[in-house]
Amino acid sequence: FGPATGDGQPEIARIDRDRSRAALAAAHQRLAALSAQWLANQARLIEPQPRPTLVYQPSATMD
């Protein structure tokens, strides 16, 4: 940025830059959270699932 001319431009630019940084940081955190969630889901898909034990119970209506 050039020398401050007193018209507030450097201040506006600084505010915009801070806003952009905050938005970028928030997006980065969201991406990191989604990545971690996705990795956890992948691990859950890969690991063998315990099979539910099905007990056959004939109902009273079946003859």
Q: How far is Cα 55 from Cα 60, in angstroms, rounded to an integer?
A: 15
pLDDT given at position 32: 96
pLDDT given at position 10: 83
The string of pLDDT tens digits covering residues 7-58 is: 667 888 898 999 999 999 999 999 999 999 999 988 888 777 677 787 777 7
Give the residue, 61 or 9, on which the prediction is more confident. 9
- Report the number of distinct structural domains present in the chain: 1
CA dihedral sign of residues 9, 15, 17, 20: negative
pLDDT given at position 34: 95
Q: Is residue 38 assigned to a domain? A: yes
Provide the domain limits for residue 12: 7-49
Q: Is residue 30 assigned to a domain? A: yes
Q: Is residue 54 assigned to a domain? A: no
pLDDT given at position 8: 66
Q: Is residue 61 assigned to a domain? A: no
Model confidence, pTM: 0.48
